[in-house]
Amino acid sequence: MKVLGCMIVIGGVSFAQVIPGVSPRRYLETAASDASAQVVWSQPLGMLESGETRAVFTALAVMDPMHVGHQLRGVRVDLSKPDWKGVAYVQESDIPILKKDADTLAKDAKEYPKETAPFMTHGLVSDPVPPLFLSYRRVENRATLSLDGPGLRQLQFTGVPPSNLAAIFAGAVKALRAH
């Protein structure tokens, strides 16, 4: 009887508990990064580009390897600049937060067009730490949107307004609702 009870508990263990050190905010990243990941669907959302710096956004759902029939959904962000490439995953529950952050940056940039101090959203001091940090700064006539995050290098997109990023996250919300 004790063995059966133990098996039931193990059967109910979540994906993050099976992989030590994986926080619930990293389920999607862990599942989607696995070589055996089964992508259920994906949809391109858009790209930010400045020179050779790019961030390509794709909405996706992958099968949860620990829960039959359950999907993990969100956005994959492929980041690149000439000397570096990386990937960030934004789980579905974080997308509205990042959209709101991008909307806030867009609003601040519009309301304070001559401000040169950076406008920033969440960062490493946030609890919980978001998968992406957003900032926007205007120096002389050059406006720059920056993306950063835990384990990522900062990417700068000169001439790209925060409203472009807000539109990408709005598209993500819409794509995830449609599937």
pLDDT 10s digits, 30-42: 888 888 889 999 9
Q: What tens digit of pLDDT does each residue of 118-173 get? A: 888 876 667 677 889 999 998 877 899 999 998 899 999 999 999 999 999 999 99
Domains and CATH numbers, the chain: 24-178 (3.30.2450)
143: its two tokens: 């406006």
Q: Which of 127, 122, 64 is nearest to 97 (CA)?
A: 122
Which runs of consecutive H residues, i.e. helices, occur in the chain?
A: 2-11, 15-18, 27-33, 95-111, 162-178
Q: What tens digit of pLDDT does each residue of 71-92 get? A: 999 999 999 999 999 999 999 9
Place of tokens 């956005």: 75
